[in-house]
Structure formats: C-alpha cells, structure tokens
C-alpha cells in the first residue's frame, strides 16, 4: 500500500447543512493513503487517514473531535458509515 502526505486527489468541497467540512477522495484502485489534519475547534485538529477506493469517497468531518465522522462510499450513494478519527490539541 502506497503512503503519501501529498493530497493531489483529495478535494475540500465545502460544508454540509450541519456545518461539517466535506472532503472527497478521487477514485484510485492503488489504495493511496492520505493523511489529513483538519481543524475542528478550540485549536483542536482531527487526524484522518483516508485510503482511496475504486470509486470516489466522500468524508463528512464531524467538528466534535471525540465523535465519529461520516464516510459516504461511493460518494453520492447515500451509503454512510460512521468512522472514528484521532484528535489532538495544539495548545
């Protein structure tokens, strides 16, 4: 499995109606790993490790760092999985 910190196939779309940031990972069957550090609140960040799939993946980042995010696979399908992320504070 390839590991990259470069996010060439990762897009920040906007926020959803809840105010959650939305990320989308382009389809790539090579299982590229994206390490993402997303700011959430109070100088806290979520560390997401997202692996590309054969179809696009959409990630809804929950701003509550101790609650799971939602991963929609394939993107736009309505199939949503709750996935926990790591969180830490910058203080």
Least confident of 6-10, 31-35, 39-43: 6-10
CA-based angle 57:44:8, to the nearest 5? Answer: 35
As for how many domains the chain has, the answer is 1
**Around 79, how many Cα atoms within 13 Å sit in the side-chain half-sphere?**
7
Mean pLDDT of the chain: 85
User: Is the predicted pLDDT of residue 53 greater than 50, yes or no?
Assistant: yes
- Mark 8-24 as b/e (b = at least 16 C-beta within 10 Å): eebeeeeeeeeebbbbb
**pTM: predicted TM-score of the whole model, two decimal places:** 0.82
Range of the domain at 42: 3-89
């Amino acid at each position: 499995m390839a590991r990259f910190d470069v996010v060439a196939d990762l897009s920040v779309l906007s926020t959803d109606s809840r105010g959650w940031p939305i990320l989308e990972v382009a389809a790539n069957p090579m299982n590229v790993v994206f390490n993402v550090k997303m700011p959430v609140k109070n100088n806290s960040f979520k560390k997401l490790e997202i692996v590309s799939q054969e179809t696009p993946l959409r990630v809804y980042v929950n701003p509550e760092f101790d609650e799971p995010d939602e991963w929609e696979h394939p993107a736009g399908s309505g199939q949503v999985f709750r996935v926990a992320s790591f969180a830490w504070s910058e203080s």
